[in-house]
Structure 1
Amino acid sequence: MRGNELSLEQRGKIISLHQKGLGYIKIFQNSKFMVPATQRIIQKWISTGSVANKRRTGQIQSQHGVSISNQTVRNLIKEKGYKGAVARKKPFISKRNNLSGFISCKVGESLKPNCLRKTIKHGGGSIMVWGSMSTNGVGKLHFIDGIMNKDVYQSILQKNLLPSVRKLRIRGTVSFNRTTIPKVPPKPPRNEAWEYLDPDFTKKLVDSMPRRIQAVIEAMGGPTRY
């Protein structure tokens, strides 16, 4: 115990009074333990379930006769098959993703959820688009405003599906029933980058789809190397 630290018995008394429903002031009146110390003990008990201090390096050294340094810890971690690495950045998927920037993982585990740091592109926010591509290049690109529902999706298909099929020279019978022929709006500037995608690039993406789908299945919906 260091300095004027409260003993385990005193800390236990604080927790006992807290469990009886007493606030910090009432605990002080009953025990004379200062409010800041009482607050720290209760918060520690709530977060860890214990009021004991964490073991310090000096305690480990005195009990096991081993000098514990940062290098000793690193050597032991390496010996157990782990390596230090900055967590890979992958788009945010769930709360399972590790929030810290520096983690330890075994070789081959870099894409496991607890070895990742979640990221959100461009500082947050989102944008939803409908697009299509084939080995011949890209089809139409449609930016979606608001919430997607069946009516919005049907409207998108009416405006973009058949024109994309014709543009991509997709063979076979393709039909889509519609009651009205929508007017085609002028092409906005933000679509130009999409139009300039090289067919060789889209061919590689399309050809890789079986591997990508299999990777997602094996990862049970989690991050993949793609």
Structure 2
Amino acid sequence: MDSVCEQQFSDLATDSRLDLDTRQVRDKVIEQFKAGLGSKKISQALNIPRSTVQAIIQKWKEYGTTVNLPRQGRPPKLTGRTRRALIRNAAKRPMVTLDELQRSTAQVGESVHRTTISRALHKVGLYGRVARRKPLLTGNHKSRLQFSTSHVGDTANMWKKVLWSDETKMELFGQNAKRCVWWKTNTAHHSEHTVPTVKYGGSRIMLWGCFSSAGTGKLVRVDGKMDGAKYRAILEENLLESAKDLRLGRRFTFQQDNDPKHKARATMEWFKTKHIHVLEWPSQSPDLNPIENLWQDLKTAVHKRCPSNLTELELFCKEEWARISVCRCAKLVETYPKRLAAGIAAKGGSTKY
């Protein structure tokens, strides 16, 4: 037996330059396998990778042949190696564009259409979406986390007594420019998938509004540039009247962000004089303010009506603000503990809200 094997190895060694893709090579592999040789010895004798030998043997065991079987449909345009490289690239650089990915495939000799690349990414759960705009969070993570942990146990009745407020800008034509990124499901709010923003950067107006669990309060247009005096005038004319209309009683809490105009000494003195308790608020935390959800509702409703000028824009804003249901407002306040829990889970970072 040993002499037979030695002769076989001698014969195979002289034929080491055989084409790996030929039927002859595959038949020789099976012939030696039937003769009792292992994949390692066959690999050495034929000078082909051991993995290739094992694949040929496995196919022969399953189908009883070494013939190339008919393939299902057209072969993929992307090789497995290039496809994996695309996936790694999009996962590592979420804001890479399809054009950039297309150029990277061309550099390795695989020129494919953008839709081919999109389909390859979709199969692994990567989809091109508009990047969410989130304030750039830095040193205030700690204060956000502290706020969430200190209030997560507050009663539902406490949140019902809060009058939430904020300013927003409404644009006459569309919204800000959008940026597409690649993300997997439930990762939209990860920092690498969001675009940092700063406050108030045209045809637009600025609005101040407020609401509570009992419904929406006043919504007013801010004429010109907002300063401390103008902000206090807005509060004087609208804050207490809104609290009265919403039946918050005398011992309610007012929420505002940390804009310098809001925290100015004269403004804080005004609150003190009016005996209004102001909720201590962490900076750069719009996701902790449920009025942001109402702003989005308002913008969606107003843009559907396609206002043609700033006068119409203001009118439509006030009409749509008044149409926001009490149920919608109550639900936002009722689920506020979940918002705080998300802030804790994010350790003070951005949340899905």
TM-score, length of structure 2 as denominator length: 0.32
Larger radius of gyration: 2
Bigger relative contact order, structure 1 or 2 (CA pairs below 8 A, ≥6 apart): 2
TM-score, length of structure 1 as denominator length: 0.47
